[in-house]
Structure 1
């Protein structure tokens, strides 16, 4: 016994030592694997974090450097002129705050920089010859693309990166594009790196380096932490023509030494614990084996008996339940595949505990029947188990101790018939679905109809017995070719289905459209057994589709194509080089003075006139041409394939020939409701060829040509020229510059003295001038109409009013000037403001100006507008004490019938009447009449445009009160006026 004991002990110790070594080695291996996984995870996290910073850095650079393309586009757009640069650079600097400065460098030499403050040293810097930056500037010039240089020491100080984009101007004569210079964007490195918070990488435990790697030797851009990175993660940045690399690794490396010691210690502890457990387990196993041998002998017979019973029960495929006479569950046996049933019956509980009331009633009735007849079968009930309904069929047998004695228990077998019930339900659903609103046809593999539904009979008109055994071609309309059906069955064979629109014929012969879907049914051997076709009558939807197309693509009034259809046809014409070798033309037609017809005769007559005009246009164009109503009284005609010779003159000749026919058609008056209406038209034509990209461009060109025809006197034909677009562009540009004229102090006021009969200066007229930074002095005849159209005249007019009042206020301390009258011109747009009078009143109070020293000059043509509003405002101004002068008198449309009711202080004779007045022309009679009329109405009369002493003397003899003109004094600056007044007054 002792030898056996010591032998077993030695065996246990040996096994324990072996287990220790094995577990220790396995733990170290697991620690290594864990370390590798941990390192891999840390590298992935570091790479993700590095990618985020790299993305922000790359996005910041891309976003900031995109400004170069804006400058390059504007340089090319303006043909190399750069006066726009400060305004555009200022707006872009707000968008790209990281940028230190923008610069334009004609021929490589920096000439413009923004902001200038702090960057003055950059001006004159030659990028192509600089020792440090010249090589990369040359490289950008050779590649003809934007190149990011750096890091470099900036001329204005500090380190930074410079992005240069070479700019080439297009030679309009077809020659080689000419190099203009560079557009440059400079970003300081500190600003760039701070904008993406690159130092946060170090705060998060990573040493990093940012390198430029496309050079012979990598250039260090920025670094933090270790001088040398041994095994970093790396991210490449995609930048313009250069490569940057961002790399990083943890400050302490991927495996800190403290982790290594922890791994070894944990492995040692696990190996010791496992070895101890193995030793104890081995000692205990021998004792358990002896005990197990004794127990197995005693339970062998009981086990065999239970095994036989379980085999018998397992042979029963259905759940079996034993229920007592009192309805209590005594035992439950279920097969392995129906364990869910066991949840419904708890041993020792009533059988109805988990059953629904309906199932309990079925269960109780079956037990009662079995009590009477000893057995029962066929009852069906359902049970909800795990959100699913199961159906069971019951078989009940009674157990009695002896015949004719009381029942002791019931044995109930439950057969799962859920699949059968579901199949029956699916059959009912399928039968219902078959009778849907869509027609259904089923044919066999030989394509003979074997069944149809009621909808088929209703749609086709055929009864089921009329089509059984016949092919589906009985419905054929004859509209489709044999190739159509061959392709249909080929797709059925390859793909197993076909769907599309088809035309069929009803039994009564009517042809109708239907949407047909055919599916192939295959048997277990994947052979075709049936075809199932479903279809619906789409006659109504097709009609609706036609109606919608009519609404979407045709004008409801004239029935002509509308704007959408015209643009689609022009797009289709241009598509896939459709105009290669050909030319078309677009005619833009506008009815002259059509608004007058609407205003005078009403919109009903106007609509009728548009319909008749559309009819005449259709009659005088070819069938392949497109006549469209573009909007209002505007029509467009697309003349397709006007010429195939690519000769612009011939294309223009043919288009003008069509225009001549249309002009002749409109020479005949329109007879509407018994009244003749004569309407002329203006036509603009633009030639469209293969070089046109956007249809809207050619439409705009024809519209510009039409406006040119109207400007030429209406009822004219005009072809588009590039100069028209240039004039429009120039006007838009002038309008844009005018919007900033006040803020940029470009507007100035000159004054022209007004003289009394004794040649004393008693007042002056303020004349607005615009000193454009590039154009110089712009004529008021050019910019005043633009200001009135855009309503910029409102802030400009307010500025003139305030300047005049400022001068009058300053002169109140000068005794010689305190009665001096300043006249300012008021636009009709200004005067029409509801608060114009209050504006004047507020300005007078603000500058403390005597109202009788301010005179407002209104044009005579203004009086043709709202008479009541004009009288009311004039009376309000007079109540303030302001003087009112009627300018250009005799050239407008004022009515003498109410002129005497206007509170006017002064009539101003237009200079056109003063010209040649001393020679006794008709102008002399008109001027004399105006002077007499003014005096008879109690008004002062002033003559403008006095050029000679003879004109002055003649007007003086006729009683004119005041004089103004070049013969007396030209417009001058306000300082010169004060000097002139002092000189004249001293002479007098």
Structure 2
């Protein structure tokens, strides 16, 4: 057994097995085939031939006629049983080709007529036989692919009548082969596409000989489906159309998945409004249109006031329902061409296009505020939520997406700090205010654990005895660079950035230590009033029990600390307010109602409040000695409070006349500059010392 590998050329194509005993002739065959050889194998018996045939891919077998002996168990038959597609060329004793591959259907000698061809034609015979087998294999492979493809395939004649479909077509459309043969593919038409659609499609097929695209079609059961289809034209040698071949896939589910992904990418899942990404893209387009048509455009930045309280008190389910209802209200306030989106949380944004005047934006803003005045109702809860709205105008406040959003955001904060439930247009002063606030936030964060914070104490005088029995704790921030910073400036910022609870806890614990020291030194019943922020009071994570435990740990009576809560918090009826007040009462901590008379108060409402002290706001006190109405109001408050066993503290007393008037109408306590300004610990300590 011999094996030769040709090295004449890399383009040699055939692997040939020579089966015979004539060594001179086998060398002659090798030289005749020349560069068309890839490998040349030689075997001189059946066993060697079968071993080589199994070990190597063979394209052509050249065998002497002798190897047909022993039919049907001859060597040639055995090789053909291994690879039925191999090309076999038989030679007679004169080395003439007597049989080409297609002449061996049964290998019977009397069915293989002699073909006296010259040996020089050996190469052309091999190529011809190889091509015939290749064509047969390709045809069989194409038929297999047609039958087994997961893509639906149809072949129509030049008249566009279906002549063949594959099983995938039947599976996708529900039509059997017999139902569509001879039919026009329009049998699948869904009716979704108009006549012009198909005219454009066939125009493209006519000019470009192919077309691809999406088409809605209809299954046999009437169900619509979306397909991606490619139609190709088949022509003859003269360029005449003979057939059309189409391949399509059912992409209904894939398209639906893409749309779901697109919706998640560009829409808020709760409200189904456009989200931040979608809004930014649309706003950029609207700005370009406004530039082109020289029109005004407005961006409204909206933030729900105190929305966190809803989540904390009523739960996130109610909070989600509020957000959804709010989105419906907002959509009802704008035109079809305008855009409303949810940025996240309780923030919304609106783009108003093609405005004639900037005042047009204020009309929409006021419409929103008016609509929000209608109470929200969920289960047994009814409440009102308001918006703080900031407005920026293109092009006067900016010409880019980021500029307009930034300016509207700053204007919104201006509206919020101005009292909420209002709108505000951006102006340049807000830019400076925003920068100042940014610096304040940065310094507040860095100062939170520093010695820059301190507590001053303002005396509260018993008007009957003239003794200092109480003090109000007032937080102060002295910054090394910014100087004294008003609580009116930094307290709202601390509430916004989430530092108020940390500050409040520090104030409470510091005051507890201080009141203990003053009780031991001067007055065993001395009390300090500590202001508690509405944000901290209504924060579900506020741990009141830790405060109660702390007072026990330092052996301080619970009445040593009174917590001052604003009237607005107390009037906000809800589960968390009632729960907090009950916890205070159960722990023995006294509660003082601050700023009475400035909010929603009424004398009748006092009976519902479980408080120990009521503080009359300074606005009622400042004219009490010259205005009879103010005096009468204060007297009525005091009488009603006493009937309810509530003691009264007057704030902002600045002169002796006010003090005398308050004494005359039975007020219990008073504080103000007439008695003393807020003092440091050292100065207050001196004030408490007995005077001889």
Contact 1:578–1:690 under 8 Å retained in 2: no
Report deviation, 1:396: 13
| Aligned-partner SS, 2:41 | helix
Contact 1:514–1:537 under 8 Å retained in 2: yes
Per-residue CA distance 1:99-141 (angstroms, 9 max, x = gap): xxxxxxxxxxxxxxxxxxxxxxxxxxxxxxxxxxxxxxxxxxx
Contact 2:361–2:391 under 8 Å retained in 1: no
1:669 & 1:819 partners in 2: Cα distance? 48
1:636 aligned to 335, 340, 350, which one? Answer: 350
1:433 aligned to 129, 141, 145, which one? Answer: 145
Counterpart residue number, 1:754: 460
2:436 aligned to 721, 727, 730, which one? Answer: 730
| Aligned-partner SS, 1:919 | coil
1:692 & 1:716 partners in 2: Cα distance? 22
1:942 & 1:921 partners in 2: Cα distance? 20
- What does residue range 495-506 of structure 1 map to in structure 2 within 5 Å? 500-501=212-213
Report deviation, 1:736: 3.1
Counterpart residue number, 1:295: none
1:970 & 1:921 partners in 2: Cα distance? 27
1:941 & 1:513 partners in 2: Cα distance? 80
Report deviation, 1:554: 8.2
Correspondence 1:687 to 2:393: yes
Counterpart residue number, 1:793: 500
Counterpart residue number, 2:637: 930
Counterpart residue number, 1:195: none
Correspondence 1:654 to 2:654: no
1:875 & 1:775 partners in 2: Cα distance? 41
1:859 aligned to 548, 562, 566, which one? Answer: 566
| Aligned-partner SS, 2:662 | helix
Contact 1:344–1:354 under 8 Å retained in 2: no
Mark the CA change 1:379 to 1:448 in structure 2 (over 3 Å): closer, same or farther.
farther
Counterpart residue number, 1:942: 649
1:479 aligned to 191, 197, 200, which one? Answer: 200
Counterpart residue number, 1:579: 291
Report deviation, 1:712: 7.4
1:787 & 1:779 partners in 2: Cα distance? 12
2:259 aligned to 520, 525, 548, which one? Answer: 548
Contact 2:595–2:615 under 8 Å retained in 1: yes
2:390 & 2:73 partners in 1: Cα distance? 107
- What does residue range 895-974 of structure 1 map to in structure 2 within 5 Å? 904-919=611-626, 921-974=628-681
Counterpart residue number, 1:516: 230
1:808 & 1:939 partners in 2: Cα distance? 23
Mark the CA change 1:784 to 1:706 in structure 2 (over 3 Å): closer, same or farther.
closer
1:711 & 1:830 partners in 2: Cα distance? 18
Gaps of 5+ in 1: 1-307, 318-334, 357-365, 398-414, 468-474, 490-497, 507-511, 620-624, 643-652, 672-677
- What does residue range 518-533 of structure 1 map to in structure 2 within 5 Å? none
Contact 1:440–1:532 under 8 Å retained in 2: no
- What does residue range 45-60 of structure 1 map to in structure 2 within 5 Å? none
- What does residue range 345-494 of structure 1 map to in structure 2 within 5 Å? 345=47, 370=69, 381-383=80-82, 391=86, 423-434=135-146, 437-439=151-153, 453-454=164-165, 477-479=198-200, 488=208
Mark the CA change 1:488 to 1:353 in structure 2 (over 3 Å): closer, same or farther.
closer
2:407 aligned to 695, 698, 701, which one? Answer: 701
Per-residue CA distance 1:880-901 (angstroms, 9 max, x = gap): xx54433334445578789668
Counterpart residue number, 1:765: 472
Report deviation, 1:855: 3.3
Counterpart residue number, 1:141: none
Per-residue CA distance 1:424-467 (angstroms, 9 max, x = gap): 33321113335664556699xxx9999974379999x9977999
Contact 2:333–2:367 under 8 Å retained in 1: no
Mark the CA change 1:725 to 1:519 in structure 2 (over 3 Å): closer, same or farther.
farther
Mark the CA change 1:758 to 1:782 in structure 2 (over 3 Å): closer, same or farther.
same
- What does residue range 95-110 of structure 1 map to in structure 2 within 5 Å? none
| Aligned-partner SS, 2:473 | strand
| Aligned-partner SS, 2:466 | coil
Contact 2:397–2:407 under 8 Å retained in 1: no
2:216 & 2:640 partners in 1: Cα distance? 90
Report deviation, 1:972: 1.5
Report deviation, 1:770: 1.3
Contact 1:752–1:971 under 8 Å retained in 2: yes
| Aligned-partner SS, 2:569 | helix
Correspondence 1:337 to 2:54: no
2:491 & 2:556 partners in 1: Cα distance? 27
Mark the CA change 1:902 to 1:718 in structure 2 (over 3 Å): closer, same or farther.
closer
| Aligned-partner SS, 2:470 | strand
2:72 & 2:364 partners in 1: Cα distance? 109
- What does residue range 72-87 of structure 1 map to in structure 2 within 5 Å? none
Report deviation, 1:766: 1.5
| Aligned-partner SS, 1:636 | strand
1:777 & 1:583 partners in 2: Cα distance? 47
| Aligned-partner SS, 1:804 | helix
Report deviation, 1:594: 14
| Aligned-partner SS, 1:618 | coil
Report deviation, 1:477: 3.9
Report deviation, 1:752: 1.1
Per-residue CA distance 1:686-736 (angstroms, 9 max, x = gap): 333599675244244345546766887999775432333443443343233
2:561 & 2:272 partners in 1: Cα distance? 60
Contact 1:518–1:534 under 8 Å retained in 2: yes
Report deviation, 1:978: 1.9
Counterpart residue number, 2:481: 774
Counterpart residue number, 1:329: none
Report deviation, 1:380: 5.2
| Aligned-partner SS, 2:637 | helix
Report deviation, 1:684: 5.5
Report deviation, 1:749: 0.9
2:335 aligned to 603, 611, 618, which one? Answer: 618
| Aligned-partner SS, 1:750 | strand
Mark the CA change 1:499 to 1:603 in structure 2 (over 3 Å): closer, same or farther.
same
Report deviation, 1:974: 1.3
Gaps of 5+ in 2: 1-20, 31-36, 56-64, 93-124, 174-178, 186-195, 219-225, 375-383
- What does residue range 196-207 of structure 1 map to in structure 2 within 5 Å? none
Count matched residues.
574
The answer to which structure, 1 or 2, has the higher relative contact order (CA under 8 A, 6+ apart) is 2
Per-residue CA distance 1:196-252 (angstroms, 9 max, x = gap): xxxxxxxxxxxxxxxxxxxxxxxxxxxxxxxxxxxxxxxxxxxxxxxxxxxxxxxxx
Counterpart residue number, 1:64: none
Mark the CA change 1:771 to 1:377 in structure 2 (over 3 Å): closer, same or farther.
closer
2:140 & 2:429 partners in 1: Cα distance? 79
1:656 & 1:545 partners in 2: Cα distance? 43
Mark the CA change 1:956 to 1:793 in structure 2 (over 3 Å): closer, same or farther.
same
Contact 1:390–1:418 under 8 Å retained in 2: no
2:584 aligned to 855, 874, 881, which one? Answer: 874
Contact 1:442–1:530 under 8 Å retained in 2: no
1:742 aligned to 432, 448, 458, which one? Answer: 448
Counterpart residue number, 2:24: 311
Report deviation, 1:768: 0.9
Report deviation, 1:957: 3.0
